[in-house]
Structure 1
Amino acid sequence: MNLKTRFYNIIDSQYGRPTGLLGRFIGEKMIRQHQPETLWTIENLNLQENERVLEIGCGAGFALKQISSMNGGHHVTGLDLSKSLLHSAAMRNRKALKQKRIELVLGSVEELPLSEEQFSAVYSIHSVYFWENLSRSFEEIHRVMTPGGRVMITLCDGKDGEEWASVKQMIHRELIPMMERLKFSEVRVLGGPVSRGYQTVAVAGVK
């Protein structure tokens, strides 16, 4: 393996669980790259007053900052596997953390270290690709949601007009059937913005 290939392999591995200074750099890069679909996701959550919101895979905390800055009195919990990114999220949201409008949690979606039925809105942006056990992940999401709560899982299913068959298959043969088995209602796929040539979609539902 040559040096260039090794470098790109290191970069690719950082997207799943960023670590150290390189991980923090990747976290800031992801904020810039994913801003259109992040803002679109937040808008489509249709947050009302005083909601308790969970972001799975919060990264460096850009979306957390957007929601906590709204005039809705929301409380936002950000969960991530990466200590490095949680540190960046804490730095970005120092004031909101001090005011207890944001909470940061180290953990995995497969075993959420959170109590039952506390979130009225749950979302995740570009992290579902890295979930090792989709069925267990959605069971955990369902567990921590309040009745009537909304979930939105944002991802990309194509680039430059070309559809990604494997992602389409995951959406229609895995994600949607899992949500329906768990009795989520109004399960649907939303079309989102094109960002850097990537087509954004989201799988959404109501508990």
Structure 2
Amino acid sequence: MRLITRARSIIDGQYGNPKGWLGSFIGEKMVRQHRIETVWTIKQLHLQKDENVLEIGCGAGYAMKLLLSTLNVDKVIGLDLSKTLIQSATIRNKKEINNERAQVVFGNVHNLPFKDNKFSKVVSIHSIYFWDDLALAVAEIHRVLTPDGSVVITLCNGKKGEMWEGINTMIHYKLIPLMEEANFQEVKLVTGPLSRQYQTVSVSGKKL
């Protein structure tokens, strides 16, 4: 029983920062698991012509690949803390990286390695759970967005009809107020599709 518990602990620990061969496996598993909400999230971006997109927590690069298949997107930069998944994302998007339409960067949401006003869109799918300083993360996202740029943050807030109190408290009493304090406009919570019985939602906002 201890061995099973330890194995589960090791696997759960991989989701925050996947490493090694197991991390590569987890990365591809997340690609399969999150297809529904990834496609839905990209629709929420309402992409226009010549978009410059940052994905925070790009994982194995599946959302990057979908974004790059859109004619309205000029360039996509994926950022992740996992060097293992950066390698996976690089392989998945090798052609567009060679064409200089894509780039994968090692980095942290709390200190984004980019200049001010760089991206017209910022997107994050299932990475907010691992942000240690939500206020700093929101401020950094606001900083790197262009005027009129927007952000979409996707996460799950329940399963099988049961709402998760901790996540919903974070959304309503931390994330949304912090975005409004950072001068994001049109901040809203949108309910999305069920994915493996998990309830998907997004929080979005626009920088003036």
Question: For this structure pair, what is the TM-score category when the shorter chain's length is used for normalisation?
Answer: over 0.9
2:48 touches 2:73 (CA, 8 Å); kept in 1?
A: no
Measure how far apart 1:105 and its partner are. 0.6
Gaps spanning 5+ residues in structure 1: where? Answer: none
Residue in structure 2 matched with residue 43 of structure 1 by the alignment: 43
The residue type paired with residue 28 of structure 2 is E
The residue that corresponds to 1:56 in the other structure is 56
TM-score by length of 1: 0.99
Unaligned segments of structure 2, at least 5 residues:
none
- The Cα of 1:11 is off from its aligned counterpart by 0.4
Residue in structure 2 matched with residue 169 of structure 1 by the alignment? 169
So what's the TM-score if we normalise by structure 2? 0.98
Say if 1:67 and 1:74, in contact at 8 Å, map to a contact too: no
Query: Which whole-Å deviations, capped at 9, do the CAs of 1:83-118 have from their partners, x for residues lacking one?
Result: 000000000011000001101110000011111101
* Cα displacement string for residues 141-190 of structure 1 (whole angstroms, at most 9, x for unaligned residues): 01100011010100000000000011110000000000000110000001
| Distance (Å, rounded) in 1 between the aligned partners of 2:63 and 2:138 | 21
Once residues 38 and 61 of structure 2 are traced to their aligned partners in structure 1, the CA distance between those partners, rounded to angstroms, is 11
Residue 136 of structure 2: aligned partner: 136
**Deviation string for 1:28-51 (max 9, x for gaps)?**
000000000000000110001111
CA offset at residue 73 of structure 1?
4.1
Measured in 2, the distance between the counterparts of 1:118 and 1:50 equals 13
Amino acid at match of 1:76: V
* SS, match of residue 60 in structure 2: coil
When residues 27 and 177 of structure 1 are mapped into structure 2, their CA distance, relative to the original with a 3 A threshold, is same
Distance 1:151 1:86 in 2: 22
Question: What secondary structure, in the 3-state scheme, does the structure 1 residue paired with 2:15 have?
Answer: helix
| Pairs aligned (count) | 207
Q: Identity across aligned pairs (percent)? A: 55
Aligned pairs (5 A) from 1:191-202? 191-202=191-202
Determine if contact 2:157/2:168 at 8 Å carries over to the other structure. yes
